[in-house]
Amino acid sequence: MTELETKSSVAVVFADGGSRGNPGPSGCGAVVKSGSIDGEVLASLSKFVGIATNNVAEYTGLLIGLEKALAMGFSEVEVRMDSELIVKQIKGQYRCKNEGLIPLFNEVKRLQRQFKKFNIEHVRREYNKEADLLANQAMDKGE
């Protein structure tokens, strides 16, 4: 058995993004945990997005989290985000009509298909503090 096979096959990804100015300096963050929302933190990711909207930053946070979970070999992912818009777009409850978001939406859908099991849920901001902190750190570094 490899080290990864002994771990849970489920990654829990917390993702967030923000912008100071909307559009303005923006950043995103993602946390990949093993198995459950209280699982071991396997990766903490932070990225300065540049001058962008909060929704572009939110999608970018989701993308870096999904890419990391795939790179780590996870076949199942549970995503938690405090952006109701992004969650509802990915679930198909809202259409993604914004031209700046469509390529990001399409990339998330492409990554989603690479998982055997994929679920995304909206959480209140206080349950997404780790990813929010990483997004703010990215904005602080980028400004």
Domain count, the chain: 1
The answer on pLDDT for 2 being more than 70 is no
pLDDT digits (tens, 9 = 90+) for 72-115: 999 999 999 999 999 999 999 999 999 999 999 999 999 999 99
- Taking the C-alpha atoms of residue 65 and residue 112, their distance in angstroms, rounded to an integer, is 11
pLDDT digits (tens, 9 = 90+) for 19-69: 999 999 999 999 999 988 889 999 999 999 999 999 999 999 999 999 999
The pLDDT of residue 76? 97
By C-alpha distance, which of 11, 9, 5, 1 is closest to 120? 11
- Taking the C-alpha atoms of residue 126 and residue 80, their distance in angstroms, rounded to an integer, is 12
The H or E element that residue 91 is part of is: helix 84-91
Question: What pTM was estimated for this model as a whole?
Answer: 0.93
64 CB burial (10 A radius; 0-12, 13-18, 19+): buried
- Taking the C-alpha atoms of residue 48 and residue 136, their distance in angstroms, rounded to an integer, is 9
Longest dimension (CA), the chain: 49
- Domain holding 15, by residue range, is 3-142
| CATH code assigned at 70 | 3.30.420.10
User: Cβ neighbours of residue 56 under 8 Å, at least 6 residues apart?
Assistant: 17, 19, 26, 49, 100, 101, 104
